[in-house]
Each structure stands twice: as structure tokens, then as C-alpha cells.
Amino acid sequence: MAARRKTTPRPNDTIAFQGEFGANSDMACRAAFPYMTTLPCPTFEAAMEAVRRGRAALAMIPVENSIAGRVADLHSLLPHTNLRIVAEHFQRVEHCLVAVPGASLKTVKSVRSHVQALAQCRGFLKKHRLAPSVHADTAGAAREIAGLSDKSVAAIASSLAARIYGLQVLARNIEDADHNTTRMLVFSREPASPDGRTVPCLTAFLFRVKSRPAALYKAMGGFATNGVNITKLESYLSGAAFEQALFYAEVEGHVELRPLKLALEELEFFSDELKMLGTFPAHPFRRKGWEAPTRPGT
């Protein structure tokens, strides 16, 4: 079995993620921060707590998938965290069929993996008449079958998981859609400091408005009048009587540049609560055709 990374590295060189070694989040951490050691955590909350307590410098958390949509767990944590969003990363998800050495597509009868991975590979499973079995985690499924020595059982996991747990890859890129991509956010104790005059940036924040006619329209009007593009806006009902809506938003621009400053001032006037989560560079995945402001105040 391949050697794992050490689990007690130096905190400043560590990035935390939810899952086991070999999970897609582990792959994303290694792709975005190849100089750092990855730290597996059982939950999103535990990964962020590792940063808060100084066990890791960063935490990478998935927020949405191009097929499965929003990863809802994170949004329940955002109102309570003091961490800042400092980066984003887009990870292409490439599912592999992995099994113990000596197995083949002819010997495999059942496949274990996370419910989303199984759903994303439904066509492949149907074509090869493989019975799906739900597991809590893709990498966990790979680790589990590695200890079975059963050629009839396989897992859907990453090529990294296969390498870590001594499995062979029977088939690569078995997902039904070739655009299967997960967007991740990176959290830190300290805010990022990109130059908004030359670097395309995003700014993320939470705000709350009363559940009344035109409340959202008035709160967001300043973004339209100041030419600020809203790239993401999601709502969540909160309060014992569900009388208020909490919104998570991401907009283009640096918080220190005049258009966004004015828009946020107007938002604050019409909202009951505003919590800034961070300004960070836009990932190259989305930068095509997006020009950064050339000077402050433009």
C-alpha cells in the first residue's frame, strides 16, 4: 500500500479538507497548493475548526458542483465563522473505477461509492451491469475495498485514492458528463490582499433583510446603479418564525474600489445585517473575457 502523507505536519504548511486521503477535495488541495500537506477532517466544520485553532493555515471547502448543485452544509457555518475567504479553485472531477490487483471488468459485480459519484456514473454502471452500493465517501470506499481482497467488488474514486490504497484503475473518466466540475473556496484566519486595480476580484458577504415587499430590490439596487455585477445570490430563511431571509452573495470587484464601496453602503442602509467574508482573486477558470478595473474609482 502506498505511503500516506504525514498527519502531523507543520501548521503553516498544512491545508485541511473534509474527507479521507484520496478524496476529490484532497486532490483539489494538492492541485491548488502542491507545496502544502493535506489534513483530512471528518466534516466541513472540523476542517474550518482546524484553521481557527491553528492546526492548519488553510481549509478548502466545496461549495457547488456543475451537476449536483449547491453543497448546503457550508452555508450553515458561514454566519458563525471568523475565517475569511482568500481564494477559489475549480476542480475537474474525474471518477475512476478502482479495484484490488487482479480484478477486471469481468470479475467486478458491485461498486461502492458516495451517492453523488454513483449518480454521476449511472450510465457506465448500467452499461456494465454493475450493482451500485452507497458509501459515505469515495476515498473511504476505496480504502474499504482495499482490505477486502474481493475481486467482485470495486469502488468509484479518484486515481489518487487508488494510488494511496494500493488499488488498480480498471477504467478512467467514467462520469456521464464531461463538465463535472466542483468549485471550492479557501478559508484562512487572515484576509487576502489582492490589488483590485490590476487583478480581477470577487467579494463575498452575507446580509439579512426583512421579509417584506421590495426589501431585496431596495437592498440590491445599489449594485445596478454602480455597475457592479452580482455573480452569486442565494437565500436561506432564518429565525424561529422564518420571518427573515439570509442571503449569501458574491460580486465582481474589490471592496476598496469606489463602485463596490457605494453599492455596499446602500446595501447596509436597507439591510438589517451585513457580514463581509472576504475579497479574493478570481480563479483563471472564470477570467476569460473579464477585464479588471484599471484604476481606483473606475
Residues 6+ apart with CB under 8 A from 297: 257, 258
Instruction: Give, in order, the Cα–Cα distances in Å from 264 to each of 39, 125, 207, 237.
Output: 36, 49, 10, 22
pLDDT tens digits, one per residue of 224-280? 999 999 999 998 876 655 667 789 999 999 999 999 999 999 999 988 899 999 999
Instruction: Give the per-residue pLDDT at 288.
Output: 57
pLDDT tens track for 72-99 = 678 789 999 999 999 999 999 999 999 9
Residue type, 170: L
Give the residue-averaged pLDDT of 62-78.
83
Is the pTM higher than 0.75? The answer reads yes
**201-287: same fold as 96-171?**
no
Classify 11-93+180-188 by CATH class.
alpha beta
CATH code of domain 96-171 = 3.40.190.10
Top CATH class, 201-287: alpha beta
Averaged over 156-169, what is the pLDDT? 96
Query: What is the structure's pLDDT at 286?
Result: 84
Average pLDDT over the chain reads 89
Between 71 and 295, residue with greater pLDDT = 71
pLDDT at 136: 86
Domain boundaries, the chain: 11-93+180-188, 96-171, 201-287
Task: Kindly tell me if the per-residue pLDDT of 5 is higher than 60.
Answer: no
For residues 17 and 47, the answer to whether their CB atoms sit within 8 Å is yes
Res. 289: pLDDT tops 90:
no
Centroid of chain to Cα 7: 22
Stretch 134-156: mean pLDDT:
95
% of residues, the chain, pLDDT over 70: 90
* pLDDT recorded at residue 45: 95
Residue 97 has a pLDDT of 98
- Is pLDDT larger for residue 126 or for residue 2? 126
Q: What is the pLDDT of residue 243?
A: 64
pLDDT attached to residue 46: 96
